[in-house]
Amino acid sequence: DHLSLMASILNPNVTIEDDRTGLDIETIRRAVLDNLFYIQGKFPAIATKHDFYMALAYTVRDRLLQRWLNSVQTNLKKDVKSVAYLSAEFLVGPHLGNNLINLDIYQQVEQAIKESGLNLQELIDTEEEPGLGNGGLGRLAACYLDSLSSLEIPAIGYGIRYEFGIFDQHIQDGWQVEITDKWLQYGNPWEIARPESSVMVNFGGRTEAYTDDHGAFRVRWIPEYVVKGIPYDTPILGYKVNTANTLRLWRSEACESFNFERFNQGDYYGAVDSKVHSENLCKVLYPNDEPIQGKELRLQQQYFFVCCSLQDMIRTHLIENSSLDNFDQLWAIQLNDTHPAVAVAELMRLLVDVHHYEWEPAWQITENTFGYTNHTLLPEALEKWPLSIFGRLLPRLLEIIYEINNRFLERVRIKFPDNGSKMSSLSIIDESDDKYVRMANLACIGSHRINGVAQLHSELLKETILHDFYALFPEKFTNVTNGVTPRRWMVLSNPRLTELITQKIGNRWINHLDELKQLEQFVDDASFRSQWRQVKQEVKQDLAKYIEKKVGIVVNPASLFDVQVKRIHEYKRQHLNVLHIITLYNRLKHNPNLDIPPRTFIFGGKAAPGYFMAKRIIKLITSVGDVINNDPDLKDRLKVVFLPDYNVTLGQRVYPAADLSEQISTAGKEASGTGNMKFSLNGALTIGTLDGANVEIREEVGAENFFLFGLTTPQVAEVKSHGYYPRGHYDSNEELRGVLDLISCGFFSRGNRELLQPIVDNLLYDDPYLLLADYQSYINSQEEVSEAYKDQERWSRMSILNVARMGKFSSDRSIQEYCDNIWKVQPVSIKLQAYNQENA
Ligand code: B1H
């Protein structure tokens, strides 16, 4: 109306409330119906649940846009430094619930939806999650976007808009079956395409030297083909702030959809061929948790999104700045592992070839701009590209990499004269047998900071795979321990616990997680402990219902919920967990009166489709479950559940319901882990090795509240250096022998002795992840778990102390450390201005 319009002209902080911004229940209710009609094209009477979900999603998006556009506008300003987080994966999870929390309108919307005769939770559950990541690395990127916005840091996430994300996992006859993830098939209300900001990306062809008008020597790249990148933007709103940063994902398309020459010659199929080729580029996420060496399409994906993103940053930079001289002062680019590491060479190409910088100043800008986060120590997981593929696909980038390498090795030669082995380990080019481009070396050389993701991991990086880089530039190395966002992983996923905690200590903990400390004062309060148990019990009942519905297994909500959810990997040792289950099974069969609390073992996780052993481990779990779940002798004291299709959505159901968190990787193998944090934050106790962030979790919650077992990293190295002989453990440990023999004889596989034998053979004759060496220690620790669980008062104390002391593991703390020590960026608060007041 006229008055509020006048008010907003006089005071731009006053917004105009209308059907697209109003936050009261009645306005929201009306807006949903409006969107249902005008966007979904449906009357309520014929609308599906999905239609209502879409209508609500648009209603929420409308309420975000004001904040989003003002944030984008502010981030463009010439004194504002922004973070660009480059990642091949963003595993954001469903948006609706999270946006309701961060907008702080959950209650109003719940009421408005109720008044329309619907249920908000059902609509939230209707959202198909964008599975644009494999596991921890992609999920970390998503938690970091949430924290960047919540801390009001100007930022943008750049990645790939895969048409098909991580596959859906079905379990058939106990085996994993992969189904294409068609997450976009019913439309995505959270994204806005920005075709006007498209950019071009070169591939193949050759380079050519020329002399420009000023007589300068230059190189140009004459590509074989050019692909267009189209950005799709999704708002990432912070918690109770006006900052809504952008997640910008690139989709590829052919430059011209038709090749007219061919078309006119009647070669229609030939004409659309390049279109098909270009669109294949961002079709599918590679479903491996480690790189598949040498797949050309994967390198195309990496270069594609990096090239699009850097051009985009340069374009936005030049809107308010007259040159790129201050690029490093206005941009901090973080490389999420080596997947975007080609950015180091690409920024040099853009500065030198396109913007005509001299090499040295271009290199200064580049090195000042980049930071590199390493996420793995596994040597087989270090990315390298065959020189032939790299040179054919990206000829100009290979030349630039050679130039970077030559200049770098010259400096190395001065620092370490006559040290050929240092030279060859530091070189970007691996010349060992076949030639490769080593992406970690490029990332280290081109970045001013290199960090690991947990203290132990960062130390091991310096001692092992990056040792020679550490000797060369110790000042670049630092640690930032991972964290998770309490908004999604507590407030959204565990409303009951959130409510109980908030009743006691208020709600400041939600964005100042250290405040959970205050819960310590209530550990001796018996009625609080009883409320605490009550919450856990109710959440476990919810999960029990879900389990029955999904897999038809009835589980006892009073049993100990012992949970391991994560990608299936030998180093994560899901099969060690199974060895414990079979141990308990044998004990109960021999002694039915054994006094141990009943347990429900819950597993979830996907195996890379080509990972033989991981797929067998799934079959092992489901096979053992089939026998144990149906053995009447056990009287339901043990249950084994494999939950299919573990993803963010399922994680939100599972973490809150866990009593025990299994974090049992071989010491030195898990860089950090982040599931470990989500469990403990929701009151589960951890059984774990001294690996990754477990070490720091144990430090924080106290050794007496953590079930520790297993060899330490130096002990693992020690055992291996003396020629590890796993068979010795089998020979000397009767109970272990009984377990492995039971698998071997076909007891869990209907007499089929071949089915699970590869796992047993691997353990007896190789056992690279030392399951047999850690077996007894694990079993002993599990006995302590059972004893502790029998004393429910003691267990509750430990559980409360775990939550109270987890403040460190908020991704807000991680992001603050990145801001202070790596990016040097400051928060900027966003002033709201009504959209129709833009030019007032
Ligand atoms: C992690 C990966 C990863 N480390 C290659 N490395 C990939 C490597 O598709 N690829 O090529 C995909 C993923 N992911 C995980 O990162 C670590 O294993 C976890 O320990 C860590 O918590 C997580 C986040 O830092």
For the chain, list the domains and their CATH numbers. 18-77+95-128 (no CATH), 78-94+129-482 (3.40.50.2000), 556-791 (3.40.50.2000)
Measure Cα distances from 776 to 550, 610, 708, 736 in Å: 34, 32, 12, 8
Higher-pLDDT residue of 291, 700: 700
Given the residues 438, 566, 639, 813, the one annotated as active site: 566
Task: Give residue 483's pLDDT.
Answer: 98
Measured from the Cα of 453, ligand 1's closest atom is 25
Helices (H), 151-280: 260-264, 268-280
Of 90, 289, 455, 697, best ligand 1 pocket probe by most atoms within 8 Å of the beta carbon: 289
Which residues, in sequence order, are CB contacts of 818 under 8 Å at separation 6+? Answer: 83, 144, 334, 371, 480
Give the distance (Å) from ligand 1 centre to CA of residue 290. Answer: 7
In one-letter notation, the amino acid at residue 233 is D
Residue 375 annotated to the active site = yes
Strand partners, 334: 85, 371
Given the residues 678, 698, 808, 813, the one annotated as active site: 678
| CA-proximal residue: ligand 1, atom 12 (nearest) | 289
For the chain, count helices (H), then strands (E).
Answer: 34, 23
Task: Give residue 161's pLDDT.
Answer: 98
Measured from the Cα of 673, ligand 1's closest atom is 22
Residue 674 annotated to the active site = yes
Of 290, 336, 375, best ligand 1 pocket probe by most atoms within 8 Å of the beta carbon: 375
Confidence of residue 3 (pLDDT cuts 50, 70, 90): low
Express each pLDDT in 233-259 by its tens digit. Answer: 999 999 999 999 999 999 999 986 545
Looking at every residue in the chain, the average pLDDT score rounds to: 95
Higher-pLDDT residue of 267, 151: 151
Express each pLDDT in 536-577 by its tens digit. Answer: 999 999 999 999 999 999 999 999 999 999 999 999 999 999
Give the distance (Å) from ligand 1 centre to CA of residue 336. Answer: 9
DSSP strand pairing (225-237 vs 199-203): antiparallel
Q: 592 pLDDT exceeds 80?
A: yes
Residue 481 annotated to the active site = no
The per-residue DSSP string of 809-827 comes to GBHHHHHHHHIIIII----
The CB-side HSE value for 621 (13 A sphere, CA atoms) comes to 30
Task: Give residue 840's pLDDT.
Answer: 41
Q: Is 481 helix (H, G, I), strand (E, B) or coil?
A: coil
Token representation of residue 144? 């970091």
Express each pLDDT in 759-770 by its tens digit. Answer: 999 999 999 999
The whole-angstrom separation of Cα 257 and Cα 260 is: 9
What number is the average pLDDT over the span 409-415? 95
What number is the average pLDDT over the span 680-703? 98
Residues in the ligand 1 pocket, defined by CB under 6 Å: 134, 136-137, 140, 286, 288-291, 337, 375-376, 381, 453, 482, 670-674, 692
Give the distance (Å) from ligand 1 centre to CA of residue 82. Answer: 25
State whether ipTM is beyond 0.95.
Answer: yes
Instruction: Look up tokens 């065959």; give the residue.
Output: 386
Angle value at C-alpha 790, between 785 and 791, nearest 5 degrees: 100
| CA-proximal residue: ligand 1, atom 8 (nearest) | 290
Task: Give residue 16's pLDDT.
Answer: 56
Task: Give residue 837's pLDDT.
Answer: 56
In one-letter notation, the amino acid at residue 144 is Y
Measured from the Cα of 373, ligand 1's closest atom is 25
Higher-pLDDT residue of 543, 288: 543
Give the distance (Å) from ligand 1 centre to CA of residue 624. Answer: 29
What number is the average pLDDT over the span 286-308? 92
Helix axes 136-150, 811-818, angle to 10 degrees: 80
Residue 790 annotated to the active site = no
Task: Give residue 401's pLDDT.
Answer: 98
Express each pLDDT in 467-476 by its tens digit. Answer: 999 999 999 9
Measured from the Cα of 670, ligand 1's closest atom is 20
Task: Give residue 775's pLDDT.
Answer: 99
